[in-house]
Chains A and B, each alone.
Chain A
Amino acid sequence: MAGTKSDLQVDLEQSLHMYQQMAKIRAFEEKVNELYQSAKMPGLAHLYSGEEAVAVGVCEALRRDDYITSTHRGHGHCLAKGAAVDRMFAELLGKEAGYCRGKGGSMHIADPDSGNLGANAIVGGSAGIATGAAFSAKMRGTPQVVACFFGDGALGQGLLYEVMNMAALWKLPIIYVCENNLYGEYTSVGETLAGEIGARAKAFNIPAETIDGQDVQLVYMTMQRLVARARRGQGPAFLECQTYRYYGHHVGDINRAYYRSKEEEREWTTTRDPLQVLSARLIAQKLTDASVFARIEADVKAEVDAGVQFALDAPYPDAREVEQDVYA
């Protein structure tokens, strides 16, 4: 994919950092799939592979104490906001060293230390929490901004529109980030969505932009502008990132022909892969060469391998844990 004039504003060091973050998420998710296939992971997981540029571009524009809320497809958001690979794996395996002491699992990873208020297994369910965090930031007088991640499926949930209405009325510092990956579970967005996505936000006077979610530099640049605006007290924004999930709805969703074609999958994975888009652009611009990316890939592989080994070796929570943390 050809570069755009905005790349000039992202320096090489930052671009490589974003590449590394994306590569880490990709390697993490590939390992999760392996764990599932080798029956080492309890339950299921919803893989983020293919959508890395959204989480990384968005979180790169945030400070550590800015908040995010995440979704059932949330591993990428958590890692991009600063969660560590080893404790992520530990949570996925139900181990005590996990971010939620093994009580949350894949769909509920929360890490307040990195501003992550939690993934949410109710589609659209965290829109209220995210908007409340923005409300709280404003009330407390801090410069914090919130990014609320949700998928195209959440556009069917009324809660989202209720809180967008209030965010607009009260000029709350929040960016609603819609990851439009074209499918809500096993159904095409074309069958579930009437009208325009951005028009929904515009109806509340919330500025809305639709961008290529496979271009991490573009996501970052756009988000940086929207975050700065929110931090200045100019209110919420809505960002639709067009993206694609490489795997099915979850790791067990293997036979997908009834809802999407192999050709479509091949098209996205070969011509619009967010890692390839970035590496090809940086090489074409002669800013770096292939060996740099090879080194990054090796680094993240080592990190992921060590992380998964840590999690496999870690102990399960003690039986006494089952009744702890129900109440503060």
Chain B
Amino acid sequence: MSEERELTFAEAIREALAEEMRRDSRVFIIGEDVAEAGTPFKVLSGLVEEFGKDRVIDTPISEPGFSGIGVGAAMTGMRPVVDLMFGDFLTLAMDQIVNQAAKVSYMSGGKLHAPMVFRTTLGATRRSAAQHSQSLHAWVSHIPGLQVVLPSTPYDAKGLLKTAIRDDNPVVFFEDKMMYKMKGVVPADDYTIPFGVADIKRAGSDITIVATSSMVQVALGAAKMLDEIGIGAEVIDPRTTFPLDKAALIESAKKTARAIVVDEGYERYGVTAEIASVIADGAFYYLDAPVKRMGALDVPIPFSPALEDLTVPTEQSVFEMARRLCGKT
């Protein structure tokens, strides 16, 4: 049965790209080591063999340059998928993403558009240190004109990437590097997942754990531990930070009366702050406790495993926060 077929997260991404490139000749991939190398993570392996070097384009190491070329190509009829190898490199391409791609529709009064996807990565604990480990999705979530996608399963990755490629606006698509080998059911058929629709990854009635990307598995692990002490946790994944499914997050918090927001970006001024505020505002009269936030520790990501592991929320730390919030010690 094709519905039961399992793919890794990386395979799901690759399948989405291949299907969209077959469907639409305007779609192409551009970035560093995307062709024969298939990226350091091998996510794109095999694509250059099928689509050729004219559509899977290796560039010099020039993030602003090839991002800008992507913007110009998008504005003139193409559908580029720009590969920014590490999320940390977003900083290099920021002018092209924030001042150019994100603003061209508005600045031109709706006459020009940049239908393109910036695929990039997030996530620590790969022992890659401070410049290859950050989760900078809050930076782009801040910018009107962008949409920001954070898939947490192979199924979501395929469906959301196809939506991103078909969308007429720039999308920044974050993949958790640690998740590439994770397996999950991915239908072989053509399906898309709309932006702005949260997904309840696990239902529960005692506490809501809002989790994104890499933190969804952490939240699910914590939920299992909570189950054993009689706390039913609901894990809800917004899947896109913009558009944000505020209604679903508020609804879940109203039901459980308690909420924790877990995200691998820095805690200060981060995605957890935005979502906690949305819940506090929308579910105020239903809450039995303040909304808690758990993000990455506010330090540059350290190299030493002994230190790095302290910077990211874990199943244990989420479990303990949830237990405290539910008044169980």
Measured CB to CB, the residues of A under 8 A from B are 67, 69, 98-104, 108, 110-112, 117-118, 120, 122, 125-137, 139-140, 158-159, 162-163, 165-166, 169, 324-328
Contacts and interface: CB of A to CB of B under 8 A. Distances in A.
Nearest to A67: B76
B317 interface: no
Given A127-B68, A159-B65, A327-B169, A110 B74 contact: no
Contact of B75 (A133, A139, A324): A133
B100 A166 contact: no
A158 B60 CA distance: 14
B104 A118 contact: yes
A108 B107 contact: yes
20 contacts: A67-B76, A69-B72, A98-B109, A100-B109, A118-B112, A122-B100, A128-B64, A131-B69, A132-B73, A135-B72, A136-B72, A136-B77, A136-B78, A139-B78, A159-B65, A159-B95, A159-B96, A324-B110, A326-B106, A327-B169
The 8 closest A-B pairs by CB, nearest first: A128-B68, A132-B72, A162-B65, A101-B109, A328-B168, A325-B110, A129-B72, A162-B62
A229 B111 CA distance: 30
Nearest to B147: A327
Contacts, number: 145
B109 A104 contact: yes
Given A128-B71, A328-B168, A108 B108 contact: yes
B113 interface: yes
Contact of B65 (A69, A133, A163): A163
B65 A166 contact: yes
Interface residues of B, number: 41
Contacts of B80: 132
B108 to A, nearest CB: 4
B66 interface: yes
A108 B99 CA distance: 12
Nearest to A121: B99
B107 A104 contact: yes
Given A132-B72, A166-B69, A169-B60, 19 more contacts: A101-B109, A102-B109, A103-B106, A112-B111, A117-B75, A117-B112, A127-B68, A128-B65, A132-B68, A135-B69, A136-B76, A159-B68, A159-B96, A166-B66, A325-B108, A325-B109, A326-B105, A327-B105, A328-B168
B75 A132 contact: yes
B62 A99 contact: no
B106 A129 contact: no
Contacts of A159: 64-65, 68, 95-96
Contacts of A130: 72
Contacts of B154: none
Of A67, A122, A165, A326, chain B has the most CB atoms within 10 Å of the CB of: A326
A167 to B, nearest CB: 9
Interface of B: 28, 54, 59-60, 62, 64-78, 80, 95-96, 99-100, 104-113, 115, 144-145, 147, 168-169
A275 to B, nearest CB: 31
Contacts of B111: 99-100, 110-112
A132 B80 CA distance: 10
A129 B109 contact: no
Nearest to B60: A165
B73 A135 contact: yes
Contacts of B113: 328
A116 to B, nearest CB: 10
A129 B75 contact: yes
Given A128-B96, A131-B69, A166 B107 contact: no
Contact of A104 (B54, B64, B65, B108): B108
Contacts of A125: 95, 99-100
A166 B74 contact: no
Contacts of B147: 327
A158 B72 CA distance: 17
B68 A131 contact: yes
B108 A110 contact: yes
A136 B116 CA distance: 13
A120 B96 CA distance: 12
Nearest to B74: A132
Contacts of A104: 107-109
